[in-house]
């Protein structure tokens, strides 16, 4: 590759974070190293990627176009690393995967069975987190792979790919809640009742919802489900979780704009290549479902 991976990563981080110094801290480099790498990339390309006329560097129009191409190159490098790992990579001593409760798939349960048969002696750890907390666990190396409700943007050092299956989230209340007997529920009506919120879930996925003056929050969907069962308010909960754990206790609201389909991404760190087991699991998760035989 004519352009060094280090220079491409430095450029992508600086563009995403909006600061050379922030990129240096993120990558564990000096600011001068990051500045030199980006300057050399600009010389190699014959383009000005940043406007440095103000205190904070800003991407030029040329820089925005190049950023998209650099992200494609980094993604291709990820795919090459996975192929290399499959062909000759070392087996991890332990594999950690962090899940969002938005994701549940019978197909994945089949993948886990095959994983156990293929790597019977591997220590396997499952963690639960949501949204940016989940991405952070992957970034820091606490988890090798994450499965998360799709985010609009990821840090440059985090690779991502969309899983074929989607999740469905909709609104639920206890069967004795005042909203349970109503039809065609509007956002304005919802605003009069307590919202049970997953941290800042609705804001993070870019959905406009009325602010509830008496909102309660919790870090997991399971806690929201328990609060809803107790009648404390309405909550957006993955349908699979209610079907499995509270079908007899919760009522699905007929609310405008609900239910909602939520894409799900697999994420991994570009700084810490996966071993043989992690690569196998990721590739199986990303493979399209096989068509049933006729």
- Rounded to whole angstroms, the Cα distance separating 243 from 246 reads 6
Q: Where are the alpha helices (DSSP H) in 28-60?
A: 31-45
Q: What is the pLDDT of residues 27-47, one digit of tens each?
A: 888 888 888 888 888 888 888
Q: Write out the CATH class of domain 5-81.
A: mainly alpha
Residue ranges matching CATH 1.10.10.10 in the chain: 5-81
Is the full-model pTM beyond 0.85? Answer: no
Sorted by sequence, the CB contacts under 8 Å of residue 260 that are 6+ apart come out as 168, 169, 170, 207
- What is the CATH T-level fold of the domain 167-260, as seen in this structure? D-Maltodextrin-Binding Protein; domain 2 (3.40.190)
Residue ranges matching CATH 3.40.190.10 in the chain: 91-164+263-286, 167-260
Q: What is the pLDDT of residues 110-167, one digit of tens each?
A: 899 999 999 988 899 999 999 888 999 999 999 999 999 998 889 888 999 999 888 8
- What is the CATH T-level fold of the domain 91-164+263-286, as seen in this structure? D-Maltodextrin-Binding Protein; domain 2 (3.40.190)
DSSP E strand stretches across 53-189: 58-59, 94-99, 123-128, 145-149, 158-162, 167-174
The 8 Å CB, 24+ separation contacts for 53-61 are 56/18, 56/19, 57/14, 57/18, 57/19, 57/20, 58/18, 59/15
Number of C-beta neighbours around residue 29 at 10 A: 19
């Amino acid at each position: 590759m004519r352009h060094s991976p280090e220079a491409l990563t430095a450029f992508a981080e600086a563009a995403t974070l909006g600061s050379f110094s922030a990129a240096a801290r993120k990558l564990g480099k000096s600011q001068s190293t990051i500045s030199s790498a980006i300057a050399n990339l600009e010389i190699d390309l014959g383009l000005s990627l940043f406007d440095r006329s103000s205190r904070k560097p800003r991407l030029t129009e040329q820089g925005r176009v190049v950023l998209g191409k650099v992200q494609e190159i980094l993604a291709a490098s990820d795919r090459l690393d996975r192929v290399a790992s499959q062909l000759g990579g070392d087996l991890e001593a332990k594999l950690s995967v962090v899940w969002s409760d938005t994701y549940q798939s019978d197909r994945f349960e089949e993948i886990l069975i095959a994983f156990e048969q293929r790597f019977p002696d591997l220590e396997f750890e499952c963690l639960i987190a949501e949204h940016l907390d989940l991405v952070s666990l992957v970034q820091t190396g606490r988890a090798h792979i994450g499965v998360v409700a799709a985010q609009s943007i990821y840090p440059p050092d985090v690779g991502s790919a969309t899983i074929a299956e989607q999740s469905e989230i909709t609104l639920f209340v206890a069967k004795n809640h005042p909203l349970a007997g109503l039809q065609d529920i509007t956002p304005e009506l919802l605003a009069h009742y307590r919202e049970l919120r997953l941290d800042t879930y609705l804001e993070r996925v870019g959905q406009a919802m009325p602010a509830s003056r008496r909102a309660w929050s919790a870090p997991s969907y399971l806690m929201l489900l328990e609060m809803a069962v107790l009648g404390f308010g309405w909550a957006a909960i993955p349908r699979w979780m209610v079907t499995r754990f509270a079908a007899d206790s919760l009522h699905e609201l007929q609310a405008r704009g609900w239910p909602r389909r939520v894409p799900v991404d697999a994420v991994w760190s570009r700084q810490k290549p996966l071993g043989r087991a992690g690569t196998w699991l990721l590739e199986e998760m990303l493979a399209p479902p096989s068509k049933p035989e006729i």
